């Protein structure tokens, strides 16, 4: 995932976003003032897909950290690296572990 540097690259990325891992995500560098509804909808859709991908990546990494070490270590790392509260870190680890277990169940 990378960030589009200008409006033209962002527009091109909107059309190519379904391409997977190489898809671009527009950062705050593009001024949205005065953009058409179509471009704004495309931007919002792109952001939503990027957030989903990032959440899945985060969950996988947290679950693997808990598997390799333990839930307490994973919580500590989440707190440190994501600047999370203890409660939020615990929630992230538990959710990641549950999602990892669902994947294993569905593959079985």
pTM for the model stands at 0.67
The number of beta carbons lying within 10 Å of the beta carbon of residue 76 is 16
Domain segments of the chain as ranges: 2-107
Phi-psi sector, 34: left (phi>0), alpha (psi -120 to 50), beta: left
Residue 29: what pLDDT? 67
Query: Greater confidence, 14 or 38?
Result: 38
The tens digit of pLDDT for each residue in 42-90 reads 989 999 999 999 999 999 999 999 999 999 999 999 999 999 999 999 9
The larger pLDDT score, comparing residue 12 to residue 59, is at 59
- Distance separating alpha carbons of residues 43 and 7, to the nearest angstrom: 11
């Amino acid at each position: 995932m990378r960030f589009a540097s200008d409006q033209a690259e962002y527009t091109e990325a909107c059309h190519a976003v379904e391409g997977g891992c190489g898809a671009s995500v527009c950062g705050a560098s593009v001024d949205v003032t005065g953009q058409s509804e179509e471009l704004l909808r495309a931007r919002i859709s792109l952001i939503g897909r990027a957030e989903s991908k990032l959440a899945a990546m985060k969950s996988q990494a947290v679950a693997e950290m808990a598997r390799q070490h333990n839930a307490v270590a994973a919580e500590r790392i989440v707190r440190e690296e994501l600047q999370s509260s203890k409660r939020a870190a615990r929630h992230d680890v538990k959710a990641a572990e549950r999602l990892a277990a669902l994947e294993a169940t569905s593959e079985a």
